[in-house]
């Protein structure tokens, strides 16, 4: 469904991503692991269209989307949850969700249904629906960002470290949620530091180091490779 | 070093050639044009010293030009004329009548002193806040010039300055300004400031106190502006505060942007190109007006052309004609290439 | 009592106009971080449209609607000519192109129309006065207040209850994230410029209605007012801009009553020194806007 070949991303002289090739099949949950600064987030943001690719190609269902703008990627069914947990702080929870459904804003009925569904999945958000999103706790904001991404009924979800900075119980909730989403047939690319958790839910995994893919395999293979664990996986 | 000297030599050489040619031709019109050009050069180089090195857009520059012009006016208008041109002037200064050459220098120093006092706290601002404060500073200076009747004759035209600016004086000052601008750019302060333009954090880490460096550049820039304004005053001999506001700001900024703000060469070439184009267009406007082709006066054509040129340059060549390298460096590189061959 | 009422009407009518001016500037600044120097010229464009259509015999309201439409078009033209081609380059470049575009429009008016003031048609009611509760006030002031209320209400409804408005508020805090949700950058940018033009056009009718004539430099004062109000109100907050407009009007009118004549002429110097001081104290303006944000 998504194919990336020889991707490079640079911030001025800093080459954050040097050579990344990966594939994501329909309905698959693939995790991208690696230590801090490996270039995982840069890869993800480049797929989302928020960063320009310096070289390489990104193909979505066979079509070249390497230079596509972020709004085009969203329209094509790619939803992104960035690492920086970007809720719109002065918009209410409800307004945040409404914007999540921007690409299908004419389908009022469907949007209303999804909103109810999201509130069912995250009851906290229902309680806070008219509160500015900036006043939510970190965990609540993370839930909101995931819910917001789901409001577009994406076909591919790009998730960047959803567990970052959250308490273990909430991390567990989030991973349960990811498993549920996968169960519903969604294709997911999950960037994680928390390798053990990620490998529990993932089908396949890639390991990145210094901007390059260093290893790949099924989740079980990567989990079993003890040498990799020592080298790249924190936690 | 050799490159910087080459830059200075080439740019000053241009001015010298112009002076010699003007003297040989002996046409009054060219004389006027050449003096105008040299004064613009001093002003543009002043703006370049600040903007080119710090990367911050400043609107206040022309205000300091005004300070220079009014300072020299108060100091040089003959005592017997002061009763007419500045009837309300404070008695303490009313009796002063300095030589214009001294007064031009005092004008520059006054502008620099005012800049030193008001600008220090402004220098830690960047982005929109910096732009709006510099704009606000221009409005403040303009308002003061327009209403401080005792010293400026208010919004009315102030007249009676002795005509002291000739081509030699203007050209000499312009050459000094070129030397000073290159020297500042290559000084330690200039280098640090330029690296702060690209990366504020890194320059800070190199031990640079950036607001202080910007402040130094701003004072030097105001000194140029003050001297330029005073020279202009002694050239035009009568002016009003209107001469030191947005229109003039736009012209000077246009010269710098078209030539290239980051280089002294850019400032010089920008001034030359814009002045020559401007004078030609003005002549065209005057011709059309004289021929009475249209019922209304044709004015504003020059500004329209300049505005379009600025937009085109910023779109197609954002750094201006000389974006990064001085002419000296360009010539040396070319010479090197020839040797290699 | 009647003095108080008079004072309130003065403050509210001047403040209403100021608030609309500030809002038109801040809607673009908040989203694009662009200080639009050509903003005053949108007001000028609307004024000259009134002058040019004055012989047409159309009802005043139709002419005013055409004028506002032209201001909107001029706003969108600012986007296409001065902003879009340089937006990916430096902040300074965008500022300079907007300054250049301002000069371009002003001088086009000089060249193609005239440097001298041109009369614009005014409806009868603009020159009438109203008397109630012991105060006599120009009907224009009441119209200004009413227009400001309607426009502010409309604006607030747009920003809170339409998807476009919500998307614009979102883009003001985090443009990239808004785009990643599918909000097209160009739509947001053009809308911001169009709304800016709409506000400028409406303000123009009120502002030029005070003197009944338009000159090429007519936009400078509204631009300066919008600057001050915006800085007072916190440069990125929409509510702040409105509040700033009313505060500035309050300050202006109070100074008019209290300052002696020979200091009053320095009023601009005082207000702009105040602007500098505010920015030194709080570079983000007095009232905090949205927390984070970046340029596109
Ligand atoms: N905006 C930026 N400007 C300059 N360099 C950047 C920028 N963003 C990231 N980098 C650099 O690019 C490299 C890769 O960063 P990236 O955020 O992609 O890593 P990551 O794998 O997501 O790390 P983490 O697990 O800590 O989130 C790092 O060296 C980082 O310092
Ligand atoms: Mg990351």
Calculate what percentage of chain B has a pLDDT beyond 90. Answer: 57
Any chain C CB within 8 A of the CB of A83?
A: no
Nearest-Cα distance to chain B for C253, in Å, is 19
Q: What does each C-alpha distance from C172 to A3, A71, A74, B46, B157 come to in angstroms?
A: 33, 16, 19, 36, 46
- Between C138 and B109, residue with greater pLDDT: B109
For chain B, percent of residues with pLDDT exceeding 70: 97
Distance CA A31, CA A34 (A): 10
Domain containing A77: what range?
2-233
Q: Is the CB of A13 within 6 Å of ligand 1? A: no
The H or E element that residue A58 is part of is strand A55-60
A87 vs A125, A155, C61, CA distance in Å?
13, 21, 43
- Residues in Cβ contact with C1 at an 8 Å cutoff, skipping those fewer than 6 apart: C134
Helix (H, G, I), strand (E, B) or coil at B295: coil
The finding on whether A194 has its CB within 6 A of some atom of ligand 1 is no
Q: What is the pLDDT of residues C49-87, one digit of tens each?
A: 999 998 888 899 999 999 999 999 999 999 999 998 988
With contacts defined as CB-CB under 8 Å, which chain B residues touch C101?
307, 311
Question: Which chain B residues have a beta carbon less than 8 Å from that of C114?
Answer: 296
Band (A52; pLDDT cuts 50, 70, 90): very high
pLDDT at position C16 over 80: yes
Q: How far apart are CA C14 and CA B88, in angstroms?
A: 35
- Cβ pairs A/C, distance under 8 A: 72
State the DSSP code for B165: -
Q: What is residue B63's predicted lDDT score, i.e. its pLDDT?
A: 96
What is the sign, positive or negative, of the torsion defined by CA atoms of C164, C170, C175, C176? negative
Q: What is the mean pLDDT of chain C?
A: 88
Q: C262, C226, C258, C268: which is closest to C7 by C-alpha?
A: C258
CA distances from A46 to A20, A31, B176 (A): 11, 16, 51
DSSP assigned state of C80: I
Under a CB-based contact definition with an 8 Å cutoff, are residues C75 and B259 in contact?
A: no
Q: Cα separation of B235 and B229, whole Å?
A: 10
- Separation between Cα atoms, residue B170 and residue B39, nearest integer Å: 6
Ligand 1: nearest atom to the Cα of A191: 22
| Percent of chain C clearing pLDDT 90 (strictly above) | 55
Judge whether A209 and A21 are in contact, CB under 8 Å: no
A108 lies within 8 A of chain C by CB: no
Residue identified by tokens 């909101």 is A144
Instruction: Select the residue of C81, C104, C283 nearest B304 (Cβ to Cβ).
Output: C104
What DSSP element (H or E) covers A38?
none
Residue B282 near chain C (CB below 8 Å): no
Report how far apart, in Å, the C-alpha atoms of C46 and of each of A90, B304, C41, C97, C209 are. Answer: 34, 20, 9, 21, 12
Q: Does B19 touch chain C (CB under 8 A)?
A: no
To the nearest whole Å, the CA of A135 is away from the closest chain C CA by 12
pLDDT of B325 reads 87
pLDDT at A190: 94
C95/B131 Cβ within 8 A: yes
What single string gives the DSSP state of each residue in B15-71? HHHHHHHHHHH--HHHHHHHHHHHHHHHHHHHHIIIIIHH----STHHHHHHHHHHH
Distance CA B181, CA A26 (A): 63
Q: Which residues of A touch C174 (CB under 8 A)?
A: 86, 88
Q: Is the CB of A229 under 6 A from ligand 1?
A: no
The Å distance, Cα A13 to ligand 1 centre, comes to: 13
Give all chains having 3 or more CB-to-CB distances under 8 Å with chain B: C
Say how far apart CA B241 and CA B62 lie, in whole Å.
Answer: 11
The verdict on A34 touching C (C-beta cutoff 8 Å) is no
Per the DSSP assignment, residues forming a β-bridge with B297 are none
Closest by Cα among C201, C165, C192 to C76 = C192
C295 pLDDT more than 60: no
Q: Output the pLDDT for position A99.
A: 94
Burial zone of B87 (CB within 10 Å; 0-12 exposed, 13-18 middle, 19+ buried): exposed
Over residues A7-38, the pLDDT tens digits come to 999 987 788 999 999 999 999 999 999 888 88
Among A48, A102, A134, select the one facing C291 at the smallest CB separation.
Answer: A134
What DSSP character marks residue B244?
G
User: A51 CB under 6 A from ligand 1?
Assistant: no
C177: nearest CB among A69, A75, A86: A86
| Concatenated DSSP letters of C132-178 | ETTEEEEHHHHHHHHHHHHHHHHHHHHHHHSHHHHHHHHHHH-HHHH
* CA–CA separation, C113 and B213 (whole Å): 47
For residue C88 the two structure tokens come to: 């990916």
Average per-residue pLDDT for chain B:
90
For chain B, positions 113-132, list CB contacts with chain C under 8 A: 121-122, 125, 127-129, 131-132
Q: What is the pLDDT of chain A when averaged over all its residues?
A: 89
Task: Tell me the pLDDT tens digit for each residue of B234-287.
Answer: 999 999 999 999 999 999 999 999 999 999 999 999 999 999 998 888 888 888
Above pLDDT 70, what percent of chain C?
96
**From the CA of B302, how many Å to the nearest CA of chain C?**
9
pLDDT tens digits, residue range B280-320?
888 888 888 888 777 767 788 889 999 999 999 999 998 88
The band of A232, judged by pLDDT with boundaries at 50, 70 and 90, is: low
Say yes or no to pLDDT of C4 above 70. Answer: yes
Nearest to B230 by CA among B146, B135, B162: B162
- Cα-to-centroid distance, A16 and ligand 1 (Å): 6
Interface test with C, best of A99, A115, A136, A146 (most C CBs within 10 A): A99
Distance A44 CA to ligand 2 centre (A): 9
Q: Measure the N-to-C terminal CA separation of chain A; round to a whole number of Å.
A: 30
Write out pLDDT tens, residues A89-148: 989 999 999 999 999 988 989 999 999 998 988 888 999 999 999 999 888 898 899 999
Is the shortest distance between the CB of A36 and ligand 1 below 6 Å? Answer: yes
The pLDDT, as a whole number, for residue A233 is 55
Tokens of A183: 């169960």
How many residues are listed for chain C in this entry?
296
Q: Which residues pair with A30 in a beta bridge?
A: A189, A204
Residue A53 three-state SS: coil
pLDDT of residue B126: 76
Domain boundaries, chain B: 2-242
Ligand nearest to the CA of A193: 1
C273 with B140: Cβ contact below 8 A: yes
CA–centroid distance, A199 to ligand 1, in Å, is: 23
User: Tell me: the pLDDT tens digits for B11-51?
Assistant: 999 999 998 888 888 777 788 899 999 999 999 999 999 99
CB–CB contact B300 C111 (8 Å): yes
| Residue C292, pLDDT above cutoff 60 | no
Find out whether A9 and A60 touch, Cβ atoms under 8 Å: no
Nearest Cα residue to atom 22 of ligand 1: A41
CA distance A160 to B77: 72
Q: Give yes or no for a contact between B105 and B68, defined as CB atoms under 8 angstroms apart.
A: no
Spatial CB neighbours of C200, under 8 Å, sequence gap ≥ 6: C21, C24, C39, C42, C43, C46, C71, C75, C222
The domain ranges of chain C are: 15-217
Question: Helix, strand or coil for residue C294?
Answer: coil
* B235 close to B39: Cβ distance less than 8 angstroms: yes
Query: How confident is the model over B82-109, as a mean pLDDT?
Result: 90
* Distance in angstroms (rounded) separating the CA atoms of residues C156 and C164: 12
pLDDT band at C258 (very low <50, low <70, confident <90, very high): confident
pLDDT tens-digit map of C161-174 = 999 999 999 998 89
Within an 8 Å CB–CB cutoff, is residue B98 touching chain C? Answer: no
Please check the confidence at residue B203 and state whether its pLDDT lies above 80: no
Atom of ligand 1 nearest to the CA of A44: 18
For residues A35 and A234, give the distance between their C-alpha atoms in angstroms, rounded to a whole number: 6
Tokens representing residue B295 in the block? 């019922």
Largest CA distance in chain A: 52
Chain B environment of C235 (Cβ under 8 Å):
128-129
- Ligand 2 centre to CA of A53 (Å) is 17
Using the Cβ of C190 and the Cβ atoms of chain A, whether some distance falls under 8 Å is answered with no
Which pLDDT tens digit goes with each residue over C183-211? 999 999 999 999 999 999 999 999 998 88
- Best of A7, A10, A12, A14 to mutate for ligand 1, by most ligand atoms within 8 A of CB? A14
**Mean predicted confidence (pLDDT) in A81-90:** 88
- Closest Cβ–Cβ partner in A50, A98, A134 for C180: A50
Q: What is the enclosing helix (H) or strand (E) of A120? A: helix A108-121
CB contacts, 8 Å: C290 with chain A? 89-90
Q: What is the CATH number of the domain that holds A174?
A: 3.40.50.300
Domain total of chain A = 1
Which residue has better confidence, C272 or A72? A72
């Amino acid at each position: 469904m998504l194919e990336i070949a020889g991707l490079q991303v640079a911030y001025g002289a800093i080459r954050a991503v040097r050579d990344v090739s990966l594939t994501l099949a329909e309905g698959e949950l693939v995790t991208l692991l690696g230590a801090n600064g490996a270039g995982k987030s840069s890869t993800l943001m480049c797929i989302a269209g928020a960063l320009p690719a310096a070289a390489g190609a990104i193909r979505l269902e066979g079509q070249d989307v390497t230079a596509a703008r972020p709004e085009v990627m969203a329209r094509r069914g790619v939803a992104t949850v960035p690492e920086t947990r970007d809720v719109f702080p002065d918009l209410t929870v409800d307004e945040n969700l409404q914007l999540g459904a921007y690409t299908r804003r004419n389908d009022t009925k469907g949007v209303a249904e999804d909103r109810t569904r999201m509130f069912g999945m995250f009851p906290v958000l229902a309680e806070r629906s008219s509160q500015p999103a900036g006043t939510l706790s970190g965990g609540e904001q993370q839930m909101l960002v995931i819910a917001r991404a789901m409001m577009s009924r994406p076909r591919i979800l790009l998730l960047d470290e959803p567990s970052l900075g959250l308490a273990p119980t909430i991390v567990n909730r989030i991973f349960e949620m990811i498993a549920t989403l996968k169960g519903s047939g969604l294709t997911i690319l999950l960037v994680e530091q928390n390798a053990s958790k990620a490998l529990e839910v993932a089908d396949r995994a890639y390991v990145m180091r210094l901007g390059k893919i260093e290893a790949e395999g099924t989740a079980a293979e990567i989990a079993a490779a003890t040498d990799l664990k020592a080298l790249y996986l924190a936690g | 070093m050799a490159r910087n000297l080459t830059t200075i030599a080439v740019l000053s050489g241009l001015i010298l050639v112009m002076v010699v040619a003007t003297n040989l031709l002996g046409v009054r019109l060219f004389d006027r044009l050449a003096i105008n050009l040299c004064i613009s050069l001093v002003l543009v180089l002043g703006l370049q010293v600040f903007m080119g090195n710090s990367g911050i857009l400043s609107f206040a520059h022309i205000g300091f030009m005004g300070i220079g012009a009014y300072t020299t006016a108060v100091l040089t208008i003959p005592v017997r004329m002061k009763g007419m041109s500045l009837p309300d002037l404070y008695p303490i200064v009313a009796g002063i009548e300095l030589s214009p050459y001294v007064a031009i220098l005092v004008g520059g120093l006054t502008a620099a002193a005012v800049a030193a006092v008001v600008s220090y706290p402004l220098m830690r601002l960047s982005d929109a806040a910096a732009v709006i404060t510099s704009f606000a500073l221009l409005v403040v200076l303009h308002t003061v010039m327009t209403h401080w009747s005792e010293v400026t004759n208010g919004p009315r035209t102030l007249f009676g300055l002795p005509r002291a600016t000739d081509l030699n004086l203007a050209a000499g000052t312009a050459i000094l300004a070129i030397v000073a601008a290159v020297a500042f750019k290559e000084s330690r302060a200039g280098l640090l400031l330029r690296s702060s333009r690209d990366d504020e954090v890194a320059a800070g880490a190199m031990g640079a106190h950036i607001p202080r460096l910007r402040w130094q550049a701003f004072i030097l820039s105001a000194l140029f502006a003050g001297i330029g304004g005073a020279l202009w005053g002694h050239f035009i001999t009568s002016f009003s505060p209107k001469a030191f506001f947005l229109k003039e700001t736009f012209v000077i900024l246009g010269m710098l942007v078209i030539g290239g703000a980051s280089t002294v060469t850019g400032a010089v070439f920008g001034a030359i190109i814009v002045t020559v184009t401007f004078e030609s267009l003005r002549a065209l406007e005057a011709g059309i007006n004289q021929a009475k082709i249209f019922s209304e006066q044709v004015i504003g054509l020059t500004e329209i052309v300049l505005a379009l040129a600025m937009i085109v340059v910023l779109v197609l060549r954002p750094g201006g004609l000389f974006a990064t390298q001085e002419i000296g460096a360009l010539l040396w590189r070319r010479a090197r290439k020839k040797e290699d061959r | 009592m009647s003095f108080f009422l008079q004072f309130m009407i003065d403050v509210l009518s001047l403040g209403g106009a100021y608030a609309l001016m500030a809002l038109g500037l801040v809607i673009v600044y908040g989203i694009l971080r662009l200080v639009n120097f050509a903003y005053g010229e949108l007001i000028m464009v609307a004024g000259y449209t009134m002058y040019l259509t004055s012989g047409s015999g159309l009802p005043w309201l139709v002419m005013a609607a055409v004028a506002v439409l032209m201001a909107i078009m001029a706003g969108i033209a600012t986007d296409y000519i001065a902003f879009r081609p340089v937006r990916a380059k430096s902040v300074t470049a965008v500022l300079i192109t907007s300054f250049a575009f301002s000069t371009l429009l002003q001088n086009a008016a000089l060249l193609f129309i005239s440097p001298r003031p041109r009369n614009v048609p005014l409806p009868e009611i603009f020159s009438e006065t109203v008397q109630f509760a012991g105060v006599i006030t120009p009907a224009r002031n009441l119209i200004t207040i009413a227009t400001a209320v309607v426009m502010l209400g409309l604006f607030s409804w747009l920003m809170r209850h339409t998807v476009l408005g919500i998307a614009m508020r979102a883009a003001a805090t985090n443009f990239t994230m808004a785009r990643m949700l599918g909000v097209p950058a160009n739509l947001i940018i053009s809308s911001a410029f169009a709304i800016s033009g709409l506000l400028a056009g409406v303000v123009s009718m009120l502002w030029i209605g005070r003197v009944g004539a338009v000159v090429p430099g007519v936009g400078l004062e509204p631009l300066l007012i919008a600057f001050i109000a915006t800085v007072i109100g916190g440069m990125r907050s929409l509510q702040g801009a409105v509040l700033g407009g009313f505060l500035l009007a309050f300050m202006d009118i109070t100074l008019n009553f209290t300052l002696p004549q020979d200091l009053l002429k320095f009023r601009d110097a005082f207000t702009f020194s105040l602007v500098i001081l505010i920015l030194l104290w709080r570079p983000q303006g007095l009232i905090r806007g949205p927390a984070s944000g970046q340029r596109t």
